């Protein structure tokens, strides 16, 4: 089976055929860095991490571009509130983002361009659009995109211009020719961050930077453009309008959008205020647990975060790690068997992680049922297929004992005490020791080699 991807643009699954066989150019809209990332951000970027990992796994050479938006109204506002230069703020939160993503096993993109490093490209693009009459400058120095001039407007999101206007909550801006026109270049006040331009000092609008950076890194037409669900409109629609008007060529062939993360019934979002940050969660749970929770549902569907979501993900991972701990894990390579076939068929079908994980659970059962070389080989396969998902690479004992804090020495003492009691057939004492440990959340496991423990 070949890789099939659901294309938002055509609203169907399509066989994926890169422009250049074996190579993939992929652009994903990244973070605007003025605050810590929340779990909803993790959901989206994890989805694309998985997509990139899998494409590389099947031999595609992926050039993965994920930008950082480092200039925008919120950044300026927050920097002012803090009384710090905006680039200071931006660096701080870009670093925080990378730290958080690292813990979730989200691999770094091939390139991470920043808007402020592409001001020249942005200005050139705006100039081209003005020359082609897709954009116009107004007296105060703003430049707007003439939305009605672009025939294909709405093709990605399914919006119809006249209906947008009818229900528009956009205030009428007297300088715009049309209320739906959006800003490409914003005039700046002298005290705000700004760059020189043919239209006076100013800064780029939000949508234009992605058009400039994607084309810059990947060419006029590239394979995949992705982003969070809330970027489909207007951001991605505007990117298409800008780029295709400027180049006269197709912008991106395949559009991928991740599903939203919900807290209860509602989307987790900054504007609703119903979010918690990745680092809040990482104080209580291992990054792999968060990762496994988020990849346990399909990347395009909504995921609801519930009180027990992470505990459930933890329990599932424990099943994997218990198997890996018991087995003598062989070399991490794939085996041509039904588990591999199911795993790959699922992933080839629009990155169906729940189905792929189901195959892995069946493989776990097989690992637990077998012994010796056969078991070692299957356990190696489990570890290998897990690596494709960015999971199961931790030391099993470390994973299973995580959260025990500094109690390890005390636990070993208690275990020694219990083993002595058992030898003396003093089962009452042995059980009392174990009960004391259980009360602290420590579970003992007697194995042929002795006694091991894990955090419950």
Partner RNA sequence: GGCGCGAUAGCAAAGCGGUUAUGCACUGGAUUGCAAAUCCACGUAGGCCGGUUCGACUCCGGCUCGCGCCUCCA
- Restricting to residues 64-83, which ones interact with RNA according to CB under 7 A? 74
Residue 219 CB partners (closer than 8 Å, separation 6+): 25
Residue 277 sits in the site that holds RNA (CB under 7 A): no
Element (H, E) at 450: strand 450-455
Residue 357 sits in the site that holds RNA (CB under 7 A): yes
| CA distance linking residue 34 with residue 71, whole number of Å | 9
| CA distance linking residue 93 with residue 33, whole number of Å | 5
Residue from 111, 340, 362, 397 touching RNA (CB under 7 A): that is: 362
Residue from 19, 160, 408, 420 touching RNA (CB under 7 A): that is: 160
| Closer by beta carbon to RNA, 101 or else 384 | 101
Cβ of residue 305: shortest distance to RNA, in angstroms? Answer: 9
Q: What secondary structure letter does DSSP report for 109?
A: P
The site that binds RNA (CB under 7 A) totals a number of residues, namely 84
Contact 231, 48 (CB under 8 A): no
Cβ of residue 22: shortest distance to RNA, in angstroms? Answer: 27
| CA distance linking residue 443 with residue 438, whole number of Å | 6
Contact 223, 24 (CB under 8 A): yes
- Between the alpha carbon of residue 284 and those of residues 53, 57, 159, 288, 403, the distances in Å are 27, 31, 42, 12, 8
Residue 416 sits in the site that holds RNA (CB under 7 A): no
Residue 326 sits in the site that holds RNA (CB under 7 A): yes
Cβ of residue 248: shortest distance to RNA, in angstroms? Answer: 26
Cβ of residue 20: shortest distance to RNA, in angstroms? Answer: 27
Residue from 245, 268, 388, 391 touching RNA (CB under 7 A): that is: 268
Cβ of residue 261: shortest distance to RNA, in angstroms? Answer: 4
| Closer by beta carbon to RNA, 196 or else 456 | 456
State the SS3 of 233-263. Answer: HHHHHHHHHHHHHHHCCCCEEEEEECCCEEE
Cβ of residue 326: shortest distance to RNA, in angstroms? Answer: 6
| Closer by beta carbon to RNA, 20 or else 166 | 166
Residue 267 sits in the site that holds RNA (CB under 7 A): yes
Residue from 322, 339, 391, 414 touching RNA (CB under 7 A): that is: 322
- Between the alpha carbon of residue 266 and those of residues 234, 261, 269, 454, the distances in Å are 21, 8, 9, 36
Stretch binding RNA (CB under 7 A), from 75-83, 143-151, 168-176, 216-224: 168-176
Stretch binding RNA (CB under 7 A), from 117-125, 132-140, 215-223, 298-306: 298-306
Q: Which of 10, 13, 18 is nearest to 63 (CA)?
A: 18
Cβ of residue 146: shortest distance to RNA, in angstroms? Answer: 16
Stretch binding RNA (CB under 7 A), from 145-153, 243-251, 373-381, 430-438: 430-438
Contact 320, 392 (CB under 8 A): yes
Cβ of residue 243: shortest distance to RNA, in angstroms? Answer: 17
Tell me whether residue 373 is exposed, middle or buried, using C-beta atoms within 10 angstroms of its C-beta: 0 to 12, 13 to 18, 19 or more: exposed
Residue 97 sits in the site that holds RNA (CB under 7 A): no
| CA distance linking residue 353 with residue 408, whole number of Å | 35
Residue 401 sits in the site that holds RNA (CB under 7 A): no
| CA distance linking residue 76 with residue 34, whole number of Å | 9
Stretch binding RNA (CB under 7 A), from 100-108, 126-134, 159-167, 195-203: 159-167
| CA distance linking residue 319 with residue 186, whole number of Å | 54
Residue 92 sits in the site that holds RNA (CB under 7 A): no
Residue from 175, 266, 331, 395 touching RNA (CB under 7 A): that is: 266
Residue 372 sits in the site that holds RNA (CB under 7 A): no
Residue 291 sits in the site that holds RNA (CB under 7 A): no
Q: Which residues pair with residue 304 across a beta bridge?
A: 262
Residue 279 sits in the site that holds RNA (CB under 7 A): no
Q: Which of 438, 428, 424, 342 is nearest to 385 (CA)?
A: 342
Q: Which of 46, 52, 47 is nearest to 65 (CA)?
A: 52
Residue 176 sits in the site that holds RNA (CB under 7 A): no
Question: From residue 28 to residue 67, what is the string marking binding to RNA with x (rule CB under 7 A)?
Answer: -xxxx-------xx-xxx----------------------
| Closer by beta carbon to RNA, 25 or else 228 | 228
Cis bond before residue 234 (omega within 30° of 0): yes
Cβ of residue 99: shortest distance to RNA, in angstroms? Answer: 17
Question: From residue 104 to residue 143, what is the string marking binding to RNA with x (rule CB under 7 A)?
Answer: ----------------------------------------
Q: Which residues of 349-372 are buried (b: 16+ CB within 10 A; e: fewer)?
A: bbbbbeebbebbeebbebbbeeee
Cβ of residue 413: shortest distance to RNA, in angstroms? Answer: 17
């Amino acid at each position: 089976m070949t890789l099939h991807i659901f294309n938002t643009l055509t609203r169907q699954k399509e066989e994926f055929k890169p422009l250049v066989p074996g190579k993939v150019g992929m652009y994903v809209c990244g973070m605007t860095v003025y605050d810590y990332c929340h779990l909803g951000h993790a959901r989206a970027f994890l989805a694309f991490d998985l997509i990139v990992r899998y494409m590389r796994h099947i031999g595609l050479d992926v050039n993965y571009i994920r930008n950082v938006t480092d200039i925008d109204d919120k950044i300026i506002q927050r920097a002012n509130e803090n009384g710090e230069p905006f680039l200071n703020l931006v660096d701080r939160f870009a670093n925080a983002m990378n730290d958080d993503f690292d813990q979730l096993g989200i691999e770094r993109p091939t390139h991470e361009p920043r808007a402020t490093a592409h001001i020249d490209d942005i200005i050139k693009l705006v100039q081209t659009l003005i020359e082609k009459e897709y954009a116009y400058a107004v007296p105060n120095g703003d430049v707007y995109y003439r939305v009605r001039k672009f025939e294909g407007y709405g093709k990605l999101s399914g919006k119809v211009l006249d209906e947008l206007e009818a229900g528009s909550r956009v205030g009428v801006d007297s300088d715009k020719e049309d209320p739906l026109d959006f800003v490409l270049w914003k005039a700046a006040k002298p005290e705000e961050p700004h760059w020189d331009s043919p239209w006076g000092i100013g800064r780029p609008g939000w949508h234009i930077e992605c058009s400039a950076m994607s084309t810059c890194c990947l060419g006029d037409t590239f394979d995949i453009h992705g982003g969070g669900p809330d970027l489909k409109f207007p951001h991605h629609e505007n990117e298409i309008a800008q780029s295709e008007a400027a180049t006269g060529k197709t912008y991106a062939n395949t559009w991928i959008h991740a599903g939203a993360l919900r807290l209860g019934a509602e989307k987790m979002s900054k504007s609703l205020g119903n979010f918690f940050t990745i680092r809040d969660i990482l104080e209580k749970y291992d990054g792999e647990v968060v990762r496994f929770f988020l990849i346990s549902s399909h990347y395009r569907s909504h995921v609801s975060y519930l009180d027990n979501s992470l505990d459930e993900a933890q329990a599932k991972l424990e099943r994997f790690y218990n198997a890996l701990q018991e087995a003598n894990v062989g070399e991490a390579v794939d085996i041509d068997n039904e588990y591999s076939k199911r795993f790959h068929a699922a992933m080839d079908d629009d990155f169906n992680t729940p189905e792929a994980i189901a195959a892995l659970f069946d493989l776990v059962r097989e690992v637990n049922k077998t012994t010796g070389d056969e078991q070692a080989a299957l356990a190696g396969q489990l570890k290998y297929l897990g690596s494709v998902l960015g999971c199961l690479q931790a030391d099993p004992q470390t994973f299973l004992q995580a959260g025990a804090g500094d109690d390890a020495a005390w636990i070993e003492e208690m275990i020694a005490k219990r083993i002595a009691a058992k030898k003396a057939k003093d089962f009452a004492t042995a059980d009392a020791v174990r009960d004391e440990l259980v009360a602290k959340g420590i579970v003992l496991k007697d194995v042929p080699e002795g006694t091991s423990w894990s955090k419950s």
